Amino acid sequence: MSWEMTEILVRVFSGIFLCSVTGSVLFLYWKPVSRYLEKKGDAKLNYTILKIIVVSFFVPVLSVVFEDLSHKTWLFSTTSTIRTITEIVGSIWLLGAIVSGVFYLSKHRRLKAALNNASICSRQTQKVAEICRKKMSVRRKIHVFQSYQAPVPFICGVIRPKIILPEEQFTGKELEIILLHELEHYKQKDIFWKLMCNVLACVHWFNPVKKEICSQIEDWSEVSCDVRVLKVYRSLKQYFGTIISIAARKSGYRQYLASALYENTRGLELRMRRTASIRKMKGIPWKSAQIFFICFCTLGAATISVISYGYFKGYLYLEDKTCIKIEEKADPPKIMKEKKRAGTSLSKQRIMKDAVPGKEKDIWIDWWPEAKEFLMSKKFRAEKGNRIQMMLLCSEDDNPKVKNNEILAGIIEPDGTQKFVCDKDYLQHSFLIKESGEYQFFVENQTTKKIQLAGDYELITEAERDD
């Protein structure tokens, strides 16, 4: 595996890991918060926060931050040890993701089989569905089907939703409650969030809290649905009495990627208790809810930042330790011939925004000059007798078409004179400062394609050189 591919995989796995950390930390903060919100009677805010937690498993906010750090500290540099670890971790993750994916695809096949054997319900049932749709203010017309493979009533389909009923006779009240419940699932987009939970379980299969997160999404989607339906139906006793009656007859919808009227005995008992409690409370005022939500996000962000910084330092520690072992066995550096010229004739020039020698000793760079492009650092002060030492690797070291004199790296002196060395794969040299003044570090790409130059350069004083 090439070092460029290893670098990409390290970035990908770092992104997955950091997303997993982000979601897990927010979820652990949510658990005590959910009990407080339940006591206050706010099912909607509880469910909304859970949705945000699910999204945090897929939005690599911290990876974007580390992408910026990598340009300043060469975070994603790789060694043979890191490469080996990346290959092992990648193989294990891929195997787990495939196994999880096969499990959820089997659910989808069972759902597809149930739909293939479904037939449209009677006109009377469709009329009841139309009345319920207007009660729940659902604009879209959703058809109702029956299938002998449906254990309980459920709604499925993100793009083309359908309500599936078992092939049995329901009373008018039972049918109304079933349809009101499933239509509210449609309004809440619960099928989409169930799908997101399944993807989360596949990508983050290694996360120990993933199962509980998916279970909580399931539970609170049902509670939120019950609370909203009861604003239309009103009678709590009759509503849950009907659900219990249907539950006593059949169960088992969890084999499908769907949202149903009833899941299991434990879930039903929990729903009844929570719904009854929440209906008695008024919930949190909107402004208080906003402040509460901001505080929750701030606390979560602070904790995640601390954990992420630890990951950042740990990666650098591993890279540093394994790099030392490699350097002890490395071949002695090449002696490069220093060249000089008055300036460059290239029209494409760009000043980079990276830090320059000063407070920091080593300046790590990861520059990508375009074809025929000249990149230079900002100016920095160097005194007579100092040295500017550099070590760069080029991504085109295996390209036979690239010539040794087409990739340059060096310094620009105060009078504009350029001192440089050139090579197509490994640039290592130490430039002696003969006159105090403002200097710049530069690289030049004279090839016909974009390349990568990664490494470091540093300003070494006479005292440091003597040590």
Q: What's the pLDDT score for residue 327? A: 44
Q: What's the pLDDT score for residue 253? A: 47
Judge whether residue 71 has pLDDT over 50: no
By C-alpha distance, which of 57, 331, 310 is closest to 206? 57
Please give the Cα distance from 167 to 146 (Å, whole number).
Answer: 6
Output the DSSP codes for 77-130. Answer: ---HHHHHHHHHHHHHHHHHHHHHHHHHHHHHHHHHHHHHT-EEPPHHHHHHHH
Judge whether residue 72 has pLDDT over 60: no
User: Which band of pLDDT confidence, cut at 50, 70 and 90, is reported for residue 367?
Assistant: very high
Q: What's the pLDDT score for residue 266? A: 63
Please give the Cα distance from 198 to 189 (Å, whole number).
Answer: 15
Q: What's the pLDDT score for residue 166? A: 86
Q: What's the pLDDT score for residue 354? A: 86
Q: What is the CA radius of gyration of the chain?
A: 31
Q: What's the pLDDT score for residue 62? A: 54
DSSP state of 406: G
Q: What's the pLDDT score for residue 265? A: 60
Structural domains present in the chain? 3-319 (no CATH), 339-460 (2.60.120.380)
Please give the Cα distance from 452 to 77 (Å, whole number).
Answer: 13
Q: What's the pLDDT score for residue 305? A: 74
Please give the Cα distance from 413 to 128 (Å, whole number).
Answer: 85
Sequence-distant (≥ 6) Cβ neighbours of residue 91 within 8 angstroms: none
Task: Write the pLDDT tens digit of every residue in 198-226.
Answer: 999 999 999 999 999 998 998 888 888 88
Structure tokens at 364: 């790590």
Q: What is the mean pLDDT of the chain?
A: 81
Judge whether residue 255 has pLDDT over 60: no
**3-state DSSP helix/strand/coil % of the chain, to nearest 5:** 55, 15, 30
- The listed range with the strongest mean pLDDT (35-44, 97-106, 148-157, 270-279) is 97-106
At CA 121, angle to CA 116 and CA 127, rounded to 5?
Answer: 145
By C-alpha distance, which of 369, 407, 368, 409 is closest to 389? 409
By C-alpha distance, which of 390, 396, 395 is closest to 338? 390
Structure tokens at 200: 């989360």
User: Which band of pLDDT confidence, cut at 50, 70 and 90, is reported for residue 417?
Assistant: very high
With beta carbons less than 8 A apart as the criterion, state whether 47 and 288 touch: no
Q: What's the pLDDT score for residue 189? A: 92
Q: Which amino acid is at 356?
A: V
User: Which band of pLDDT confidence, cut at 50, 70 and 90, is reported for residue 433?
Assistant: very high
Q: Does residue 13 sit in helix, strand or coil? A: helix
Q: What's the pLDDT score for residue 264? A: 58
Judge whether residue 120 has pLDDT over 50: yes
Average of pLDDT values for 42-59? 86
Q: Point out the least confidently predicted range of 65-74, 92-101, 333-342, 425-434.
A: 65-74
Task: Write the pLDDT tens digit of every residue in 284-325.
Answer: 666 677 777 788 778 777 777 777 777 777 777 777 777 644
By C-alpha distance, which of 214, 9, 21, 18 is closest to 92? 9
Judge whether residue 29 has pLDDT over 60: yes
Q: What's the pLDDT score for residue 274? A: 77
Q: Which has more pLDDT, 52 or 256? A: 52
Average of pLDDT values for 2-28? 79
Average of pLDDT values for 249-263? 55
Q: How many CA atoms lie within 13 A of 467 on its CB side?
A: 5
Q: What's the pLDDT score for residue 192? A: 92
Q: Which has more pLDDT, 373 or 78? A: 373
Q: What's the pLDDT score for residue 260? A: 60
From residue 237, give the alpha-carbon distance in Å to each of 232, 244, 247, 310, 359.
Answer: 14, 10, 15, 53, 72
Confirm whether pTM is higher than 0.75. Answer: no
Q: Which has more pLDDT, 343 or 70? A: 343
Task: Write the pLDDT tens digit of every residue in 344-366.
Answer: 767 789 999 888 887 666 788 88
Q: What's the pLDDT score for residue 329? A: 46
Strand-strand pairing, 373-376 and 348-351 = parallel
Q: What's the pLDDT score for residue 325? A: 44
